[in-house]
Chains A and B, each alone.
Chain A
Amino acid sequence: MADGDWRKEDDAILLEPIFSTGWRFYATVAVLGALVLWGIVSYVVQYQQGLGVTGMNYPVSWAFYIVNFVFFIGISHAGTLISAILRLSQAEWRRPITRIAEVITVLVLGIGGMNILIDLGRADRIPYLFYYGRYQSPLLWDATSVTAYLTASSVYLYVPMIPDIAVLRDRCTRGWRGFLYQVLALGWEGTAAQHRVLNRAVAILAVLVVPVAVSVHTVVSFVFSMTLQPMWHSTIFGPYFVVGAIFSGTAALLVAMAILRKIFHLEDYLQPIHFNFLGLLMLVMVLLWTYFTFAEYLTTYYGNEPSEMRVFFSKFTGKYAPYFWAMVVFNLVIPFPILAWNRTRTIAGTVVASISIIIGMWLERFIIIIPTLANPRLRQYAQGSYLPSIVEIGIMVGCFALFGLLYVLFSKLFPIVSISEVREGREKTVEIVQERLARYKPGLGKLPQGP
């Protein structure tokens, strides 16, 4: 497939999955494809027969799809935001992980937005959002924010990738892939002027992306907090959701890193220190999330407002208690000790903590949405309960599989670790860090000499 002998180069291992295809690739695509197909069939059934095929009812009128919407949008904070923050803070260890993170964002954001559309009772009327859309509705804030973030993060994924595409273009000139790389490389030659423009563009994008990312999960929370419903109508929902999003996003990033490291043999690039640093970030998020959860629930409990207390107790001791306490275990009890202790903050440890957090944060979205709807203010006749139907489960599995499938395909087409950034790091890191240290270390060289 590729021209020339790419195997002798530096970073050849990063090109390996692109230029050589094993049976594992086909097997993965086949399995994921089958699951995606299950999701598609489920949706076709729902489109033909109506939302009646779901488990939703009166008064639980929002359920799995909205939970998944919030969950996926939360996961999307893994990437672009973390990558942008690491770039802006010039964390040298970011280099091998930025792209892994950014791809998660782009893919998951699309899937999250898709869930809102899946949830519509009249998917045929989606264009009405443009004809009759009115900005009073938080749903349109979502639509705006999510599309803005999707655009920004796609550009932010693509622009730093141009030098890598040029690398591919030089090695693969034939076929549709040669054409694709030719077009996407935008005539990159690697001149000094081009590098200057690129670095500038990436810096500007990194700054722009941060507020957009924060806005996304804030307005996702506004869908709930702008209503008057008990335990939704809360002013801390904006930051609470953003914290939860970064929390679950970091966890997703760590899991993706561990999987890629294993499959593509990237041990040299993704080292324990990356897992350690991200583990520390996640430890901070565990504590922040716990703090927000505590503040939210204590305020409700102390205020003792009857309709809120019904929701509160349905979570603490009632029907939803298993989910609630499972959430506490998965989000705090399991990950906290693992991440807090240096000896367990290893690759395996952080992955266990991450998987636990991903499950826990899904439960958190569930526990925020369902109990409030199931315990409306007029409790006398509208006591709800909810169990997902096979269609909803199929669509959820399909969404996860779609994410996996697109990720696999992306890593088949483009290097999942940024070759140019890693190279730049190899050449300049020591120099950059030394220079930086020299800048902020007072009296360097003037210190009294020891005996």
Chain B
Amino acid sequence: MPRWGMAIDLDKCTACQACVVACQVENNVPFVEEGEYRRMRSMSWMKIITETEGSFPDARMRFMPRPCMQCDNPPCTRVCPVHATYLNPEGIVAQIYPRCIGCRFCIAACPYTVKYFNWYAYHDRVPAELQQGDNPDVSSRPRGVVEKCTFCHHRLMKAKDKAAAEERALQPGDYIPACVETCPSSAMYFGDLSDPASQVAQLASSPRAFRLMEDLGTKPKVVYLAERKLYG
């Protein structure tokens, strides 16, 4: 059984936000109206965290793309009262939208704040012309449920179907989330962490590798590669 993981090389990341846009489009993440944005309800499964170090004129910016960490020990799944979010056998923290009762306990429990709530039926409020561009592989979320990054799980399903149709095993590279595929500077890597030969597994054991707040014991499967040198 593979354990899907991601590595993000912070030396290569230019913070161009292509991953953010790719994710938004791929997963039918609705753009909320201006009023809702001002009320801090916009959703973005992938986000760039910025950190300013020092102050002018010696200020430096650091950037960090933040998808769901797909923890191996997820604090969010533990608290769900109805098994609407759970760790699936391939290591992806999954969401069952038709089952979620909207108690938002998982949002409160996630230390990475990656979970978003549909305060309104935001997807239905997207203009019809824009809805035509929806990705048919991803279900839109109704009002009152929690959603978050799924490592583009639908792509895994599709890749498996395709491999099965071609009567072959799933190859590395068959399944890649939209953010990784889009990244113009190839800063993101994706693959099977349980396969020691895979690039992700090797990067994950690099001396530069760190995980976000790993001291919490959540065991994230998103690995960051620290910057070797600071420019600017």
Contacts and interface: CB of A to CB of B under 8 A. Distances in A.
A376 B47 CA distance: 15
A-B CB proximity, top 10 nearest: A121-B102, A121-B144, A52-B119, A52-B120, A137-B81, A57-B40, A132-B82, A122-B144, A227-B109, A139-B81
Contacts of B120: 49-50, 52
B81 A129 contact: yes
A131 B84 CA distance: 12
Given A50-B143, A377-B112, A380-B49, 8 more contacts: A49-B120, A50-B144, A57-B40, A58-B41, A58-B42, A122-B100, A133-B82, A377-B213
Contacts, number: 138
Give the dominant DSSP class at A's interface.
loop
A197 interface: no
A8 interface: no
B145 A377 contact: no
A397 to B, nearest CB: 22
A177 to B, nearest CB: 40
A151 to B, nearest CB: 20
Contacts of A122: 100-102, 144-145
B198 interface: no
A378 B101 contact: no
Contact of B107 (A61, A119, A137): A61
Contacts of B78: 136-137, 226
Interface in B15-32: none
A299 to B, nearest CB: 19
A348 B111 CA distance: 47
Contacts of A97: none
Given A139-B103, A228-B216, A378-B113, A61 B108 contact: yes
Given A51-B119, A121-B145, A380-B50, A132 B99 contact: yes
Give the dominant DSSP class at B's interface.
loop
A370 to B, nearest CB: 11
Chain B: interface size category: 35 or more
Contacts of A136: 78-80
A142 to B, nearest CB: 9
Contacts of B47: 381
Given A128-B99, A380-B51, A139 B105 contact: yes
Nearest to B102: A121
A229 interface: yes
B104 interface: yes
Contacts of A378: 49, 66, 111-113, 212
Nearest to A386: B40
A62 interface: yes
A6 B197 CA distance: 92
B169 to A, nearest CB: 34
Interface of A: 49-52, 54-59, 61-62, 116, 119-122, 125-126, 128-129, 131-134, 136-140, 143, 223, 226-229, 373, 376-378, 380-382, 384-385
Contacts of A377: 111-113, 213
Most A CB atoms within 10 A — which of B79, B121, B145? Answer: B79
Interface string B49-80: 11100000000000000100000000100111
Contacts of A384: 40
Contacts of B50: 380-381
Nearest to A389: B39
Contacts of A132: 82-84, 99
B36 interface: yes
Contacts of A138: 79, 105
A49 B84 CA distance: 23
B116 interface: yes
Given A50-B119, A377-B112, A381-B50, A120 B103 contact: yes
Given A58-B40, A121-B118, A121-B143, A129 B111 contact: no
B10 to A, nearest CB: 14
B199 to A, nearest CB: 27
Most B CB atoms within 10 A — which of A120, A121, A143, A382? Answer: A121
B172 to A, nearest CB: 31
A120 B102 contact: yes
A59 B43 CA distance: 11
Contacts of A119: 103-104
B132 to A, nearest CB: 24
A57 B143 contact: no
A57 B146 CA distance: 13
A153 to B, nearest CB: 24
B117 interface: yes
Interface string B110-152: 0111001111110000000000000000000001111000000
B108 A228 contact: no
A116 B105 CA distance: 11
A134 B82 contact: yes
Contact of A140 (B40, B81, B109, B113): B81
A120 B100 CA distance: 10
A384 to B, nearest CB: 7
A381 B51 CA distance: 9
Given A122-B101, A125-B99, A52 B36 contact: yes
A324 to B, nearest CB: 20
A352 to B, nearest CB: 36
A136 B50 CA distance: 35
